[in-house]
Amino acid sequence: MSPVLSELRLLREAIDEDVDRKRVDTNLGRGVYGYVGCLIRLVEDGDRDPSRALNEARSAAGFLCAVPCLPDPRPRSWRPECHA
């Protein structure tokens, strides 16, 4: 196995652990976890340059760490109703 694939898998496991321990937003974490999983498959199939995939995965993980929790959704009553 290539070192890049190993690093991608370790990054995906770290994201999974962060989601399990509630260190990051669950919805964002699941999305980034899935994205990194897709990058792994693309690299395995030879459809993505490994170094580029690793950079993209690191960027997504960095974003996840920068935005650990999304604010609670606003109640629907804040939107003005359209009376057409």
Q: Where are the domains of the chain?
A: 3-69
pLDDT in tens, 2-41: 999 999 999 999 999 999 999 999 989 999 999 999 999 9
Separation CA 81–CA 77 (nearest Å): 9
pLDDT in tens, 45-83: 999 999 999 999 999 999 999 986 777 766 666 556 655
Long-range contacts made by residues 8-11, C-beta under 8 angstroms, separation at least 24?
Answer: 8/36, 8/39, 8/40, 8/43, 8/53, 8/54, 8/57, 9/40, 11/36, 11/57, 11/58, 11/61
